[in-house]
Structure 1
Amino acid sequence: MSGWTLAVAVFSRQVPADIVARVLAVMGMVCAGFLAFILFTSGRSPARCRPFRWRARPEPLLQDPGLIFHPPLLYMGYVGFSVAFAFAIAALLSGRLDSAFTRFARPWTLAAWVFLTLGIVLGSAWAYYELGWGGWWFWDPVENASFMPWLAGTALLHSLAVTEQRAGFKAWTLLLSICAFSLCLLGTFLVRSGVLVSVHAFASDPARGMFILAFMVLVTGGSLLLFAVRGHRVRSRVNNALWSRESLLLGNNVLLMAAMLVVLLGTLLPLVHKQLGLGSISVGEPFFNTMFTWLMVPFALLLGVGPLVRWAGTGRVTSGRCCSPPWSPPWCCRYFCHGCWKIKSSP
């Protein structure tokens, strides 16, 4: 967290000083929250501190080179979304969200998204050969905890592009920035509190989990309250054409957030059901696969058509072709998913 704050302070010299001051102030308050978490839940008095000694070897699952890369990359992505969150709060406080503002925030959001993507991919590869599940993804609750902010971050990147290019989707950009960081806090709570049973959960403490939950409620609730009070000052007044890149990106965001809500529901429903004394239920792979099939089919169509459609008022298509070439990113994504499915279905 301190590293991201230092990076913003050093590499944002072209950003207006008032914006940088607000961004650093918000990140400083988030840092203070995590510092309080360390001091009040993990701190010890100097008299009780003892020299560190190895008592035993790590668990067999952790005796792997993946431990060196997967957790740091994952948490770099988690913490990196605090920069987008800080920019959103700064925009609400200043009452201004223009293309220059989003141009400053977009590289930081992309960096956090890349770190989170690499962490998820390395974690999937690690689980594939270490756990022997026979696949790359099995909708484990801890996997879902990192997948939810990834979906919100992907939608945020698209919203930032629209805000930068066409001064639209301002409310989407602000809410997705808040949502992405809040989901990162939720993922940390689910993993570290012990409320979920998972093969990925190695360290859990209910006291620490309650602190993270309280911090998440404070951050999310305060941010949404600020948006409710000052959000009208930065909302866009642009009316998008029905057939335009903006409209397709809006559909893209709706599908991504619907997918995020499906994952959130499937992850939290067993926990809520048990806490209410209604017994234990299991939401497994069939539910997620069925729901994502309905959501990802139109999403895949938007992946191919969206890049060919121009912004509103500039024409329909960028070229005479009606579909993307087979080496384009949408097709590469489809090849990858098909290959993973073949590996999983093979005996």
Structure 2
Amino acid sequence: MIETGHFALVLALALSLFQAMVPLAGALRNDERVMATAAPTALSVFALITLSFGVLLAAYYRSDFSVVNVFENSHSQQPALYRITGTWGNHEGSMLLWVFILALFTALVAAFGRSLPLRLKTLVLAVQGWVGSAFLLFILLTSNPFARLSPAPMEGRDLNPILQDVGLAIHPPLLYLGYVGFSVAFSFAIAALIDGRMEAAWARWVRPWTLLAWTFLTAGIAMGSYWAYYELGWGGWWFWDPVENASFMPWLSGTALLHSAIVMEKRDALKIWTLLLAIITFSLSLLGTFLVRSGILTSVHSFASDPTRGLVILAILVFFIGGALLLFALRASSLKTGGLFAPISREGALVLNNLFLASATATVLVGTLYPLMVEAFSGEKISVGEPFFNLTFGPLMVPLLVAVPFGPLLSWKRGDLPAVAMRLVWAFGFSLLAVAVSLLFVDPTAVFAALGIGLAVWLFGGAVTDLAVKAGVGRTPLPVAMRRFVGLPRSMFGTALGHAGLGLTVLGIVAVSAFEQERIVAMKPGDSVDIAGYSITFDAIVPVRGPNFVADRAQFLIATAEGRALGTVSSSKRIYTARQMPTTEAGIRTFAFSQLYVSLGDLSEGGGAVVRIWHKPLITLIWLGTVLMMIGGFVSLSDRRLRVGAPRAPKSRLRQPQAEATG
């Protein structure tokens, strides 16, 4: 079976090269019969890569240690779930997952792109074929996941203990679905540049793929943030780590692309800017792949240590990003610029959105790459951390968040800002009330935190106002308004849910950043510590044995300040026997939207330990907000207008260029 999986990859490479070149030649010659080979070839490539990936999954599940990749990243005593997820818990397997998801998106375009003009569909599949060929060649030459080991060892070296977690079973596939999903928008952009033509229908075809990728990337970033929060025992939810930034940058530019595509679809404007954003977003996804898989960064996410691999990925990066930008420079001037609009309009609001998001992306890019550039040219190691990003990224986000509720309420082409402001008066009133409540009842000195809470309520209230205004609440009888509300397009509900989710996330970030409490104490069984109105009592330390680890688990009793019992929470120090690697398992207890977080430190000889305890107010809203954003994305995708493309172009129009050429 292992050789079958390897051979399937070789065949997939051959077919990907065919997909990249032959249909492209047919499109340039307007030969419909040759162009028709693109879709079945893409489906065949997907079938072969699926077979290959399935073989590697089976090897991990069976603990086939004759495969070098399985031997180095698995152990027979691992739970079945982690034996399976070990498939992508390493460089070779994660790259195979990358091309599998790329082939999946390509196959989806081939299967469900029936409404696309044949020439455009062919060019898109050809570009996808070029991307797939490059990464398949990279895997086969430098990162073969099917290399054999003879004689086969009896036991493996075990998966990195930090990766043995349910969060890591979900996080990489979701992240890659976002990363790689943007390849479709990239391929549409290159196809438009090759064809020299870009219409409003192009945005209609691109927007669902962009929204799907954005939704999955949101899920992947949120899952990774929560995994790091509870698994690493550090108590934080975001560190501005270069690997975190690598996924955040395409999310920012993808958000800008999503909004820019709306303007292009509705008003046939911002064509060139939308095209450039499609290229930049996938380029940032490729940059993220390079940073994580090249070995240039040291992180729990980084698996590659061979510099040759980094050079090959860098060459792929330069080829696709450089080639795309060169093609853009040569052909963008031939595209029509589109319609005009007033600065105060929905288009103007979306342009403002794009300017702030693009600037924020550039800020994160500079902060991420600057230390690497300094080290590469001078050998000096520097770090750019939270203070830099807070001082540069934060000020860009505040005016953007203030402007968000205005955008959906403004009219296309020319808007009435005073009228929109009047419609938002209730949202503004509730945000002022939230500021006042925070200052009066929480902390009168935390002025900036109160303003942040008001901003979060402003976002949430703006989303509710958007739906209320479009349903006619207050202008028509309530039964009529309710019927209008139920009949609103799903994309409107999706937009409102996305903006409301953003408000919840902002509220969680502000609350935990401003009002978090922390205690670091040396405790023994029987000792108690008070924090945020809770009493935490060290109960006992109990030895525990897991399937492939041993642990000392400390149990803590939680009570109110008055002594009313609220339950228990446990934190442990584990040692994974195969690697003799320690990990900290944090204990988390949720009360409403807030959490008590307990992390066990080093154990002392007297049976005590150093314990770190945090009270994190409203922290769960950070991730509940992202869940609401994801729901908004899927609700928008369920809108029929986003599921059905433009009508298929008549065959007579498709044959006309060929007839002219032969005539």
Q: Per the shorter chain, which TM-score range? A: over 0.9
Secondary structure of the equivalent of 2:251? helix
Identify which of 247, 267, 292 aligns with 2:393.
Answer: 292
Q: Residues 153-192 of structure 1 correspond to what in structure 2 (within 5 A)?
A: 153-192=254-293
| Structure 2 contact 178–217 (Cα < 8 Å) conserved | yes
The residue number in structure 2 matching 1:124 is 225
AA aligned to 1:227 is: F
The residue number in structure 1 matching 2:113 is 12
Rate the CA distance shift 1:313–1:218 in 2: closer, same or farther, 3 A.
same
Secondary structure of the equivalent of 1:326? helix
Rate the CA distance shift 1:87–1:44 in 2: closer, same or farther, 3 A.
closer
AA aligned to 2:390 is: N
1:125, distance to aligned residue in structure 2 (A): 0.5
Whichever structure has more helix as a proportion of its residues is 1
Rate the CA distance shift 1:18–1:136 in 2: closer, same or farther, 3 A.
same
1:49, distance to aligned residue in structure 2 (A): 7.6
Q: Residues 22-41 of structure 1 correspond to what in structure 2 (within 5 A)?
A: 22-41=123-142
AA aligned to 1:337 is: V
Secondary structure of the equivalent of 2:207? helix
| Structure 2 contact 295–303 (Cα < 8 Å) conserved | no
Identify which of 380, 385, 407 aligns with 1:306.
Answer: 407
| Structure 1 contact 300–330 (Cα < 8 Å) conserved | no
Q: Aligned residues, how many?
A: 347
Identify which of 319, 326, 329 aligns with 2:461.
Answer: 326
AA aligned to 1:322 is: L
Secondary structure of the equivalent of 1:97? coil
Rate the CA distance shift 1:52–1:167 in 2: closer, same or farther, 3 A.
farther
| Structure 2 contact 247–285 (Cα < 8 Å) conserved | yes
AA aligned to 1:346 is: Q
- Name the larger-Rg structure: 2
Rate the CA distance shift 1:4–1:306 in 2: closer, same or farther, 3 A.
same
The residue number in structure 2 matching 1:335 is 504
Alignment deviations for residues 160-208 of structure 1 (CA, whole Å, 9 cap, x no partner): 1000000111111111110011111100110111112334324443211
Rate the CA distance shift 1:45–1:60 in 2: closer, same or farther, 3 A.
closer
Identify which of 133, 138, 151 aligns with 2:239.
Answer: 138
1:313, distance to aligned residue in structure 2 (A): 3.7
Q: Residues 234-253 of structure 1 correspond to what in structure 2 (within 5 A)?
A: 234-253=335-354
| Structure 2 contact 221–247 (Cα < 8 Å) conserved | yes
Distance (whole Å) between structure 1 residues aligned to residue 416 and residue 334 of structure 2: 31
Alignment deviations for residues 269-319 of structure 1 (CA, whole Å, 9 cap, x no partner): 111111111522110001101112210111111212111111114655569
The residue number in structure 2 matching 1:97 is 198
Identify the range of structure 1 (144-153 vs 197-206) with the bigger mean alpha-carbon deviation.
197-206
Distance (whole Å) between structure 2 residues aligned to residue 52 and residue 9 of structure 1: 43
Identify the range of structure 1 (37-46 vs 21-30) with the bigger mean alpha-carbon deviation.
37-46
Rate the CA distance shift 1:96–1:49 in 2: closer, same or farther, 3 A.
farther
- Is 1:223 equivalent to 2:324 in the alignment? yes
Rate the CA distance shift 1:59–1:116 in 2: closer, same or farther, 3 A.
same
Distance (whole Å) between structure 2 residues aligned to residue 244 and residue 299 of structure 1: 16
Distance (whole Å) between structure 1 residues aligned to residue 160 and residue 147 of structure 2: 29
The residue number in structure 2 matching 1:88 is 189
Distance (whole Å) between structure 2 residues aligned to residue 107 and residue 92 of structure 1: 20
The residue number in structure 1 matching 2:440 is none
Rate the CA distance shift 1:54–1:227 in 2: closer, same or farther, 3 A.
farther
AA aligned to 1:321 is: R
When the two structures are superposed, what TM-score results if normalisation uses the length of structure 1? Answer: 0.93
Distance (whole Å) between structure 1 residues aligned to residue 289 and residue 151 of structure 2: 28
Secondary structure of the equivalent of 2:131? helix
1:340, distance to aligned residue in structure 2 (A): 3.0
Whichever structure has more strand as a proportion of its residues is 2
| Structure 2 contact 225–238 (Cα < 8 Å) conserved | yes
Distance (whole Å) between structure 1 residues aligned to residue 222 and residue 145 of structure 2: 36
- Is 1:66 equivalent to 2:167 in the alignment? yes
| Structure 1 contact 194–206 (Cα < 8 Å) conserved | yes
Distance (whole Å) between structure 1 residues aligned to residue 411 and residue 281 of structure 2: 28
Distance (whole Å) between structure 2 residues aligned to residue 171 and residue 109 of structure 1: 17
The residue number in structure 2 matching 1:112 is 213
Alignment deviations for residues 51-103 of structure 1 (CA, whole Å, 9 cap, x no partner): 68751221221110112110011111111111000000111111221121111
The residue number in structure 2 matching 1:257 is 358
Rate the CA distance shift 1:173–1:53 in 2: closer, same or farther, 3 A.
farther
Secondary structure of the equivalent of 2:144? coil
Rate the CA distance shift 1:50–1:208 in 2: closer, same or farther, 3 A.
farther
Distance (whole Å) between structure 1 residues aligned to residue 246 and residue 507 of structure 2: 24
Rate the CA distance shift 1:200–1:45 in 2: closer, same or farther, 3 A.
closer
Identify which of 254, 257, 272 aligns with 2:373.
Answer: 272
Identify which of 169, 193, 215 aligns with 2:294.
Answer: 193
Rate the CA distance shift 1:52–1:16 in 2: closer, same or farther, 3 A.
farther
Rate the CA distance shift 1:53–1:257 in 2: closer, same or farther, 3 A.
farther
Identify the range of structure 1 (52-61 vs 10-19) with the bigger mean alpha-carbon deviation.
52-61
1:45, distance to aligned residue in structure 2 (A): 9.2
Runs of 5+ in structure 1 lacking a partner?
none
Q: State, as a whole percentage, how many aligned pairs show the same letter.
A: 52
1:133, distance to aligned residue in structure 2 (A): 2.5
| Structure 1 contact 191–204 (Cα < 8 Å) conserved | no
| Structure 1 contact 273–281 (Cα < 8 Å) conserved | yes
- Is 1:207 equivalent to 2:308 in the alignment? yes
The structure, 1 or 2, with the larger RCO (C-alpha pairs under 8 Å, 6+ apart) is 1
The residue number in structure 1 matching 2:517 is 346
Rate the CA distance shift 1:52–1:18 in 2: closer, same or farther, 3 A.
farther
